[in-house]
Amino acid sequence: MLPLKLIQENSDFIIERLKIKNFDAKPIIGRILAADDRRRALQTSIDIQLADLNNLARQIGQLFKEGKSQEAEEAKNQTFQIKEQNRILKEEHAALEAELQDMVVQLPNLPYELVPAGKTPEDNQLIRTGGTIPEPDVNRKAHWDLLAGSGLIDFELGVKLTGAGFPVYQREAARLQRALINFFLDQGLKAGFTEVQPPIMVNEASAYGTGQLPDKEAQMYRSEADGLYLIPTAEVPVTNIFRDEILSAEQLPVRYMAYTPCFRREAGSWGSHVRGLNRLHQFDKVEIVQVRHPDNSYAGLEEMVNYVESLVNLLELPYRIIRLCGGDMSFTSAMTYDFEVFAAGQGRWLEVSSVSNFESFQANRLKLRFREKATNALASPTP
RNA sequence: GGAGAGAUGGCCGAGUGGUCGAAGGCGCACGCCUGGAAAGCGUGUACCCUGCGUGAAGCGGGGUCGAGGGUUCGAAUCCCUCUUUCUCCGCCA
């Protein structure tokens, strides 16, 4: 969420920057500013009324004490009128605040100055590559063919137990999965990240805090009876640790990591290109999160990119690092690097990790305060 | 699931209808004192919205004592709902 103050004072700048993200902010900012003016005027009127009421209440107490009950009754009658007027204004004020909030959260984060304009992945910037891409092999097999019949990763069994997108890992595959999780956590520990095991279900407030609600509700699994959501990423519980918190500068930077299973409904994004493990409803991920002072958030981003790169190197995978263009970036991100690994079996690049700086966008929404911004990255242990 | 007791500032802890954003203590910051420190003394020490002011300092108004609603001229204090913590009972393992 962008700070209202920034919208009030630098609306032209915001409109200009959001063009990089192909977002036309002009109409909505116009409505935000109008609603905000009205809101402030109302606030002033309401405050004056409340001040009057406070004064009257004090006088009434005094009058009763002095035995002037006649005058006290008269003053009481005055308060009835003011209260009725106040009630009307408050209703309008509350409606306006809700409307304003709805509009402000529709504005995406501003892209950082290095972010290239563009609409599709074609416009992304290649930063660097590493590792060796194996020679194309005519006999190559994608993992779903390679694994077929082995039962190591059993998609059909998953369908029996749960449904499509919930594979069962068995024997060596289960061990490999466990080993990868441990590998990422152990490396993270060495790199100075603090390990946490958060709940994998969150309440509504947390889902709002990181922006899954209200817009992405359809992407989450929900426990209707309890009002809880299965997390789509550990980013949700881990970032919400800091919701409504005020950190002191010396507590920064905070560096957390968490392994969790992740759950995504992937409504509407199913297709022929997402076979096998390429897109799942349940998968495992080790998330890393930093909360940084705004002055060095981009140093933090680079640090995380280098860290993730070291992991990919240790695994000896051929990779490339890509800076996403405005159109390909997420709503909340100011700048994102994607890590892609070349999947020889499929003969194409697959995203394995995404590292973003959210600047203060998430922190604002979370009411995480004391001059800091949040930086976030995720490293994924699946293929 | 049932019964009871709690939820107050960074922490502890007073406060049962008005003068309470809230006593007292601890912690922290600054100052005095000291060769230096401790002790002592003094001052200050939440957040949000808003008006004047340069988005400083400062001053003013409003709101916030778990959350929301209600009673009242007036609520931290009374009532209701919810959340949550603790104790006891039950249930499940």
pLDDT at A184 over 60: yes
A7-21, A243-257, A291-305: the lowest-pLDDT one: A243-257
**Is the CB of A251 within 7 Å of strand B?**
no
Instruction: Assess whether pLDDT exceeds 50 at residue A42.
Output: yes
Q: Which nucleotide is nearest to A48 (CA to C1')?
A: B61
Q: What percent of chain A has pLDDT over 90?
A: 53
User: With bands split at pLDDT 50, 70 and 90, how would you rate the model's confidence at A252?
Assistant: confident
- Rounded mean pLDDT, A145-149: 82
Q: Which of A109-113, A250-254, A369-373 has the lowest mean pLDDT?
A: A369-373
**Which nucleotide is closest, CA of A65 to its C1'?**
B18
Q: Are A216 and A264 in contact (CB under 8 A)?
A: no
Neighbours of A17 (CB within 10 A): 21
Nucleic strand B near CB of residue A273 (< 7 Å): no
Which bases of chain B are under 7 A from a protein CB atom?
18, 47-51, 55, 60-63, 73-74
CA neighbours within 13 Å on the CB side: how many for A274? Answer: 12
- Residue nearest B47 (alpha carbon to C1'): A246
Percent of chain A at pLDDT exceeding 70: 95
* pLDDT tens profile A56-66: 888 888 888 77
Residue pair A223/A346 in contact by the 8 Å Cβ criterion:
no
pLDDT of the residue at A339: 96
**Straight-line distance from CA A295 to C1' B29, in Å?**
25
**Strand B and A221 CB separated by under 7 Å:** no
Lowest model confidence (mean pLDDT) among A23-37, A97-111, A367-381: A367-381
Average pLDDT over residues A298-323: 95
Query: A96: Cβ under 7 Å from strand B?
Result: no
- Rama region for A366: left / alpha / beta (φ>0; ψ in -120 to 50; rest): alpha
Specify the higher pLDDT residue, A127 or A73. A127
Q: Which nucleotide lies at the shortest CA–C1' distance from A6?
A: B55
A196 touches strand B (CB under 7 A): no
The pLDDT confidence band at residue A370, using thresholds 50, 70 and 90, is low
Q: Give the nucleotide nearest to A40 (CA→C1').
A: B50
Rg of chain A taking only CA atoms, in angstroms: 27
Distance, CA of A183 to CA of A205 (rounded, Å): 32
**Quick check: A246 CB within 7 A of strand B?**
yes
Per-residue confidence (pLDDT) for residue A278, from 0 to 100? 83
Quote the ipTM score. 0.83
CA of A159 to C1' of B76 (A): 56
- Strand B lies under 7 A from the Cβ of residue A95: no
Whether A82 CB is under 7 Å from strand B: no
Close Cβ partners of A328 (under 8 Å, ≥ 6 residues apart): A118, A119, A120, A121, A123, A124
Which nucleotide shows the minimum CA-to-C1' distance to residue A46?
A: B62
SS3 A181: helix
Alpha-carbon span A185 to A33, nearest angstrom: 46
pLDDT of residue A77: 87
Note the pLDDT tens digit of each residue in A318-340. Answer: 999 999 999 999 999 999 999 99
CB atoms within 10 A of CB A202: 22
- The structure tokens 């359809």 sit at A218
Element at A337 (helix H, strand E): strand A335-343
Query: What pLDDT does residue A379 have?
Result: 44
Averaged pLDDT, A114-132:
93
| Cα distance between residue A38 and residue A31, in whole Å | 11
Instruction: Quote the CA–CA distance of A111 and A343 in Å, as a whole number.
Output: 30
DSSP letter assigned to residue A281: S
Strand B contact at CB of residue A49, distance < 7 A = no
